[in-house]
């Protein structure tokens, strides 16, 4: 539910000038991301779509008769875990 809102705000409204220039200033965005709610929002925005995409990719390959077995499952979910772990690490490094 948060991904479409993020795409709307950052991908459509910001480039079209519908947002105030100060709304997305570096200081304000950094302040948001370093808050607890902002960190959870950023991690969720990165991690949840990645888990969904890798799950769909794994099952899509199975539907297309590409049976990769355990190696394919591990590769898909390891990629999702890597993005999740990196998002947590980078958020807490800020």
- Domain assignments of the chain as residue spans, ordered by start: 2-93
Q: Cβ of 2: how many Cβ atoms within 10 Å?
A: 13
How far apart are the C-alpha atoms of 66 and 2, rounded to whole Å?
32
Where residue 94 falls among pLDDT bands split at 50, 70, 90? confident
Tokens 């990645």 correspond to: 50
Is residue 22's pLDDT more than 90? Answer: no
pLDDT at 2: 83
Where residue 36 falls among pLDDT bands split at 50, 70, 90? very high
Is residue 58's pLDDT more than 90? Answer: yes
Global pTM reads 0.79
CB 44 within 8 A of CB 6: no
Q: Cβ of 80: how many Cβ atoms within 10 Å?
A: 20
What is the 8-class DSSP label of residue 35?
S
Q: Does domain 2-93 have CATH number 1.10.3720.10?
A: no
Is residue 17's pLDDT more than 80? Answer: yes
Is residue 5's pLDDT more than 80? Answer: yes
Residue 83, classed as helix, strand or coil, is helix
pLDDT at 92: 86
Nearest to 51 by CA among 82, 94, 11, 17: 82
How far apart are the C-alpha atoms of 87 and 84, rounded to whole Å?
5
């Amino acid at each position: 539910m948060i991904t479409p809102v993020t795409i709307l705000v950052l991908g459509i409204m910001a480039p079209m000038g519908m947002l105030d220039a100060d709304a997305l200033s570096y200081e304000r965005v950094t302040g948001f991301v370093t808050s607890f709610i902002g960190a959870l929002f950023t991690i969720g925005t990165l991690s949840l779509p990645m888990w969904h995409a890798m799950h769909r990719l794994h099952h899509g390959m199975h539907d297309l008769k590409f049976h990769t077995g355990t190696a394919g499952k591990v590769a898909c979910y390891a990629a999702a875990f890597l993005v999740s772990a990196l998002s947590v690490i980078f958020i807490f490094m800020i």
